[in-house]
Chains A and B, each alone.
Chain A
Amino acid sequence: MQTAFITIELPLPQTPADIHPAIEAQLKTHGTPLRWSITRITTTETQRIGQIEAIVTTD
Chain B
Amino acid sequence: MLPYTVMLIVPTGIGASIGGYAGDALPTARAISQVCDRLITHPNVMNGAQLYWNLPNVLYTEGYALDQFAAGNWNLRPVHSNKIGLLIDCGTEPDLITRHLQAADAARATLGLTLTDYVLTDEPLNVSLKRADSGATWGTIGNPDSLLRAAEKLIHQAGATAIAVIARFPDDVGSEALSNYRQGHGVDPLAGAEAVISHLIVRQFKIPCAHAPALSPLELDPSISPKSAAEELGHTFLPCVLVGLSRAPQFVEQFVDKVDLSGNLQLRNNQTQPQTQSTDIHRDQVNALILPESACGGSALLHLSQTSTQIITVRENTSRMQVSPADLGINALSVQSYLEAIGTLVALRHGINPAALSPKIDPIARFSHSFIMKP
A13 to B162, CA, bound (A): 38
Residue of A nearest to B374 (CB): A14
Q: Do residues B11 and A37 form an inter-chain contact, with CB atoms below 8 A?
A: yes
Residue of B nearest to A2 (CB): B144
Partner of A40, one of B130, B134, B141: B134
Partner of A39, one of B196, B200, B322: B322
A41 to B294, CA, bound (A): 11
Q: Do residues A19 and B302 form an inter-chain contact, with CB atoms below 8 A?
A: yes
A3 to B19, CA, bound (A): 26
Partner of A55, one of B138, B297, B322, B327: B138
Q: Do residues B196 and A16 form an inter-chain contact, with CB atoms below 8 A?
A: no
Q: Which residues of B have CB within 8 Å of A14?
A: 329, 374
Decide: A57 near B144, CB < 8 A? Known: A5-B130, A16-B329.
yes
Q: Which residues of B have CB within 8 Å of A37?
A: 11, 14, 136, 295, 297-298, 321, 323
Q: Which residues of B have CB within 8 Å of A5?
A: 130, 132, 138-140
Q: Which residues of B have CB within 8 Å of A2?
A: 144
Is B2 in the interface zone, CB < 8 Å from A?
A: no
Partner of A53, one of B136, B302, B306: B136
Shortest distance between the CB of B96 and any CB in chain A (Å): 24
B138-188 contacts to A, CB under 8 A, are 138-141, 144-145, 148
Q: Which residues of A have CB within 8 Å of B63?
A: 35
Shortest distance between the CB of B63 and any CB in chain A (Å): 7
Q: Which residues of B have CB within 8 Å of A52?
A: 297
Is B260 in the interface zone, CB < 8 Å from A?
A: no
Q: Which residues of A have CB within 8 Å of B195?
A: 35
A14 to B221, CA, bound (A): 50
Q: Which residues of B have CB within 8 Å of A41?
A: 297, 322-323, 327-328
The bracket for how many chain A residues form the interface is 20 to 34
Q: Which residues of B have CB within 8 Å of A20?
A: 299, 302-303
Is B199 in the interface zone, CB < 8 Å from A?
A: yes
Is B108 in the interface zone, CB < 8 Å from A?
A: no
Partner of B327, one of A4, A35, A48, A57: A48
A 21-59 binary contact with B (CB < 8 Å = 1; else 0):
000000000000011111111010000101111010100
Decide: A15 near B374, CB < 8 A? Known: A2-B144, A20-B303.
yes
Q: Do residues A34 and B196 form an inter-chain contact, with CB atoms below 8 A?
A: yes
Q: Do residues A12 and B132 form an inter-chain contact, with CB atoms below 8 A?
A: no
Q: Which residues of B have CB within 8 Å of A40?
A: 134, 321-323
Q: Do residues A39 and B306 form an inter-chain contact, with CB atoms below 8 A?
A: no
Residue of B nearest to A3 (CB): B140
Residue of B nearest to A32 (CB): B203
A12 to B295, CA, bound (A): 17
Is B330 in the interface zone, CB < 8 Å from A?
A: yes
A34 to B199, CA, bound (A): 7
Decide: A39 near B134, CB < 8 A? Known: A16-B328, A16-B330.
yes
A21 to B350, CA, bound (A): 35
A48 to B138, CA, bound (A): 25
A14 to B373, CA, bound (A): 11
Counting chain A CB atoms within 10 Å of each CB, the highest count among B14, B134, B295, B320 belongs to B134
A15 to B329, CA, bound (A): 7
A35 to B198, CA, bound (A): 11
**Selected A-B contacts with CB under 8 Å, 6 pairs:** A3-B140, A16-B329, A36-B299, A37-B295, A51-B133, A57-B200
The 9 tightest CB contacts between A and B, nearest first, are: A38-B297, A39-B134, A3-B140, A20-B302, A40-B322, A41-B327, A1-B144, A37-B297, A53-B132
**20 extra interface residue pairs, beta carbon distance < 8 Å, beyond A36-B298, A37-B14, A55-B138:** A5-B132, A5-B138, A12-B328, A16-B302, A19-B302, A19-B328, A34-B199, A35-B63, A37-B295, A37-B321, A38-B297, A38-B328, A39-B136, A39-B321, A39-B322, A40-B134, A40-B322, A41-B323, A41-B328, A55-B196
Which A residues lie at the B interface, using CB under 8 A? 1-5, 7, 12, 14-17, 19-20, 34-41, 43, 48, 50-53, 55, 57
